[in-house]
Amino acid sequence: MIIKCKDVFELLSELYDDELEENYEDLIQQHINECENCLALLHTFERTLDLFHSLQPIKLEQKRKQEFHRWLKVEIKRIVIKRY
Site string for Zn ion, 5-44 (x = CB under 5 A): x-----------------------------x-xx------
6: number of CA atoms within 13 Å, CB side? Answer: 1
Tell me how far the alpha carbon of residue 79 is from its chain's centroid.
Answer: 14
28 or 49: whose CB is closer to Zn ion? 28
Is the CA virtual torsion 39, 40, 46, 47 positive or negative? positive
Shortest approach of Zn ion to residue 6 CB, angstroms? 8
Applying CB under 5 A, the residues found at the interface with Zn ion are 5, 35, 37-38
